[in-house]
């Protein structure tokens, strides 16, 4: 299994770690919400203009086979921050519901115990960097637990400006039931303005306050272009219209996010430490129906490529050469990559690999065995990708695709290749045993 390869990775990354330890790079991590693989011009989008992200992609590495760890918000964020398969946490395999509601059996059980969120026992990239002397900030969407014990400040963020849940009105900053979930360093906040602007403005102010002599980590998880579909200047929406809106409105939301990212990058360019700053952009999962996930099949919440393959780009001047890369990678690899760049040894082994050797040209792309599992209500979706083959078990319905010849997943080979189905299914079962969450032992005992 892929997890057994970690022992060799420090040897590959060692020269990069030693150099990074001397320069201590800053990190600017930009995270879009529900942006489709094909929703940026640099990924072939014909109807959305994204000049700032296109420029960022041209200056660094642009991934063509980058995957989210999950097809929804909460699990994707859990994997990104912890650097591990989110299944190891337990209860975070789909988006946490309004007000902190569990949406499948294990999550409901944790909710009943007041434990639905990312526990502080989990090591995160923010806590690791904070302990290593970094200034740390989040400005954006949290979605890893409503209770204070799960807050960003308990996970290493020294400055935290955020919404608790999955989505709020971009104008009123309330959830569909009118609940106010905007927080400023753990206290309720009621700022005025369009949500994308508020998050970007706070990020700019925080960056301006940083000394060039001390490394910093700025995590900016936008809510755009997640529903409700509201572009700048649009009015509030009610619950009945929450999921309504046109592709044109969606495009305006993406373009505005791109403009604000451009302003942030311009602010960064004026700093003396700009050239020692890693800038990374990706989407948390595939887009919903208004998104463009072309050329792939499926949308958010599915394990077809359109639900999990996302745009991703990373720039590090002088260290990562401009390129297009087909290296298969997941969210959790970014955690390993950024910690390696910062010269920080994680306090807990992760499941990801450092991508620095590949991106610097010191190592060839390697084949990976990657796993997914998604739970919501009665749905149980599992998938494994090994080489060009991808097997999906969608609540008992089997799919097998050869992505090398059929990236759009149009020809199901499951019936014709039962040996591959059995082999990949066995890999999935073994992985599930490996990532079983310790905090779910009580639930599993009750279920037995």
Predicted confidence at residue 425, as pLDDT, reads 98
Please say if the pLDDT value at position 6 is more than 70: no
Please say if the pLDDT value at position 4 is more than 60: no
Q: Which of 73, 94, 137, 312 is catalytic?
A: 73
Please say if the pLDDT value at position 20 is more than 50: no
Model confidence band, residue 448 (pLDDT cutoffs 50, 70, 90): low
**Rounded CA gap, 224 and 221, in Å?**
9
Return the structure tokens found at 57. Answer: 């992609």
Please say if the pLDDT value at position 162 is more than 80: yes
Return the minimum-mean-pLDDT range out of 10-14, 30-34, 56-60, 246-250. Answer: 10-14
Q: Name the β-bridge partners of 220.
A: 30
Q: How far apart, in Å, are the Cα atoms of 400 and each of 66, 253, 285, 318?
A: 20, 36, 21, 41
Please say if the pLDDT value at position 7 is more than 50: no
Q: What mean pLDDT comes out for the span 190-211?
A: 98
**Rounded CA gap, 108 and 191, in Å?**
32
Q: In this structure, which CATH number among 1.25.40.10, 3.40.720.10, 3.90.78.10, 3.40.50.12500 belongs to the domain 10-366?
A: 3.40.720.10
Which distant-in-sequence residues (6+ apart) come within 8 Å of 11 by Cβ? none
Catalytic: 94? Answer: no
DSSP secondary structure, 262-309, as one string: HHHHHHHHTSTTGGGEEEEEEESS---TTS--TTS---TTSSSHHHHB
Range list for CATH 3.40.720.10 in the chain: 10-366
Model confidence band, residue 23 (pLDDT cutoffs 50, 70, 90): confident
Please say if the pLDDT value at position 157 is more than 70: yes
Model confidence band, residue 258 (pLDDT cutoffs 50, 70, 90): very high
Q: What mean pLDDT comes out for the span 69-97?
A: 98
How many Cβ atoms are within 10 Å of 1's Cβ, its own excluded?
A: 12
Predicted confidence at residue 18, as pLDDT, reads 36
More confident residue, 7 or 263: 263
Q: In this structure, which CATH number among 3.40.720.10, 3.20.20.80, 1.10.1040.10, 3.30.1120.10 belongs to the domain 370-447?
A: 3.30.1120.10
Q: How far apart, in Å, are the Cα atoms of 104 and each of 7, 149, 182?
A: 35, 22, 26
Which distant-in-sequence residues (6+ apart) come within 8 Å of 157 by Cβ? 126, 130, 136, 137, 138, 219
Catalytic: 143? Answer: yes
Helix (H, G, I), strand (E, B) or coil at 31: strand
> Quick one: the chain helix, strand, coil %, rounded to 5?
35, 20, 45
Please say if the pLDDT value at position 190 is more than 60: yes
Among residues 28, 14, 3, 38, the alpha carbon closest in space to that of 310 is found at 38
Predicted confidence at residue 13, as pLDDT, reads 44
Q: What mean pLDDT comes out for the span 173-182?
A: 96
Burial of 441 (0-12, 13-18, 19+ CB in 10 A): exposed
Query: 400-411, pLDDT tens digit by residue?
Result: 999 999 999 999
Q: Name the β-bridge partners of 277.
A: 26
Predicted confidence at residue 446, as pLDDT, reads 67
More confident residue, 11 or 300: 300
Would the pTM count as exceeding 0.85? yes
What average pLDDT does the chain have? 94
Range list for CATH 3.30.1120.10 in the chain: 370-447
Residue 225 near residue 33 (C-beta atoms within 8 A): yes
Q: What mean pLDDT comes out for the span 210-217?
A: 96
Q: Which of 45, 94, 137, 143 is catalytic?
A: 143
Please say if the pLDDT value at position 64 is more than 90: yes
Q: DSSP code of 46?
A: S
Predicted confidence at residue 21, as pLDDT, reads 40
**Rounded CA gap, 347 and 352, in Å?**
14
């Amino acid at each position: 299994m892929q997890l057994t390869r970690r022992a060799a990775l420090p040897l590959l990354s060692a020269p990069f770690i030693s150099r990074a330890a001397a320069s201590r790079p800053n990190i600017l991590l930009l995270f879009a919400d529900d942006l489709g693989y094909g929703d940026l011009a640099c990924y072939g989008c014909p109807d959305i203009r994204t000049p700032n992200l296109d420029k960022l992609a041209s200056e660094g590495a642009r991934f063509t086979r980058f995957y989210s760890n999950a097809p929804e918000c909460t699990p994707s964020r859990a994997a990104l921050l912890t650097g591990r398969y989110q299944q190891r946490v337990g209860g975070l395999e789909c988006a946490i519901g309004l007000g902190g509601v569990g949406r499948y059996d294990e999550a409901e059980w944790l909710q009943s115990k007041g434990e639905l969120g990312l526990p502080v026992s989990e090591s995160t990239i923010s806590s690791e960097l904070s302990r290593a002397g970094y200034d740390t900030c989040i400005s954006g969407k949290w979605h890893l637990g409503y209770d204070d014990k799960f807050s960003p400040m308990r996970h290493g963020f020294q400055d935290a400006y955020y919404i608790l849940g999955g989505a709020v009105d971009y104008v009123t900053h309330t959830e569909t039931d009118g609940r106010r979930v905007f927080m400023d360093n753990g206290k309720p906040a009621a700022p005025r303005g369009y949500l994308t602007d508020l998050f970007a403005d706070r990020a700019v102010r925080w960056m301006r306050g940083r000394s060039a002599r001390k490394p910093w980590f700025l995590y900016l998880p936008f809510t755009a272009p997640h529903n409700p579909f509201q572009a700048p200047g649009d009015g509030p929406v009610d619950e009945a219209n929450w999921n309504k809106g046109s592709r044109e409105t969606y495009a305006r939301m993406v373009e505005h996010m791109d403009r604000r990212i451009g302003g942030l990058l311009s602010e960064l360019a004026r700093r003396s430490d700009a050239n020692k700053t890693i800038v990374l952009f990706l989407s948390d999962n595939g887009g919903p129906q208004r998104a463009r996930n072309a050329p792939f099949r499926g949308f958010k919440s599915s394990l077809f490529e359109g639900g999990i393959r996302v745009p991703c780009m990373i720039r590090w001047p002088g260290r990562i050469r401009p390129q297009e890369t087909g290296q298969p990678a997941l969210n959790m690899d970014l955690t390993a990559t950024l910690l390696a760049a910062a010269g920080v040894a994680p306090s807990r082994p992760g499941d990801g690999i450092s991508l620095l050797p590949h991106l610097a040209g010191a190592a060839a792309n390697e084949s990976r065995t990657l796993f997914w599992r998604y739970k919501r209500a009665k749905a149980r979706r599992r998938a494994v990708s090994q080489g060009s083959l991808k097997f999906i078990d969608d609540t008992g319905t089997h799919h097998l695709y050869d992505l090398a010849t059929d990236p759009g997943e149009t020809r199901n080979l499951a019936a014709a290749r039962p040996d591959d189905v059995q082999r990949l299914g066995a890999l999935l079962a073994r992985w599930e045993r490996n990532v079983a969450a310790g905090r779910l032992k009580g639930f599993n005992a009750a279920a037995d």
